[in-house]
Amino acid sequence: MIIKECIAVVTGASSGIGLELCRLMAAEGAEVYGLCRRPVPHDHPRISWLQTDVTDRLAVDRAFDTVLKRHRAVDLLVNNAGFGLFGSVETLDPDEWQRLLATNLTAPFLCTRRVVPGMKERKRGTIVNISSIAGKRGFANGSAYCASKFALNGFSESLREELRGEGIRVCSINPGSTATEFFQHTGIEPKKLMRTEDVARAILSLIELPDDILPDQLVLRPL
């Protein structure tokens, strides 16, 4: 995909990997729409910030209505929004469990369903789902988060097979510990962290592969 010709939508764009991706793609000439729950101080002429709660179907539809009124279709969707919830299964709050699944799993579905028709019409497009190492290996007190990321990887795998015949690429990104706001509220202190800008550049290099190459998934870990 040629980024400078791209119409891109990134969720969870106010910080971390999402924000870095928005910056990198805008710098290369993409027209970027960042969906985020809070205002973003970063200003760039090629980034439009759309304040959106991605767990709210009506809010998601409003955001994509805005994008699709300006452009025929979306070339690239990055489903990046997510958060972690950790603790023993008997102490997990059921309402928080539902909020986690709404953010980490249902939101990618709500966004994906809005971009697929335009991608199918043009026989091209890329969907990137930001999952996690926790979507490939479970760990104690991670049942909620791991369940959401395992499910997101399953969604991605099925979607990949559903859409590859339409010229649409679906890619799964599974990062390990990254220096984002994620760990501020988890009580987890990882030994090593990857830099968000390095993870974002790795993701961008995958997106920029020629359209006839399908990058299935990318796993990134701190060395």
- Residues 105-129 have pLDDT tens digits of 999 999 999 999 999 999 999 999 9
Active site residues: 145
pLDDT at 188: 57
- Contacts of 156-161 spanning 24+ positions with Cβ under 8 A: 156/129, 156/131, 156/217, 159/112, 159/127, 160/214, 160/216
* Domain map (residue ranges) of the chain: 3-220
pLDDT at 165: 97
Residue 187 binned pLDDT confidence (cut-offs 50, 70, 90): low
Residue 39 binned pLDDT confidence (cut-offs 50, 70, 90): confident
**What fold does the segment set 3-220 form as a domain?**
Rossmann fold (3.40.50)
| Residue 59, Cβ density class (10 Å: 0-12 exposed, 13-18 middle, ≥19 buried) | middle
Q: How far apart are CA 71 and CA 117, in angstroms?
A: 13
pLDDT at 65: 98
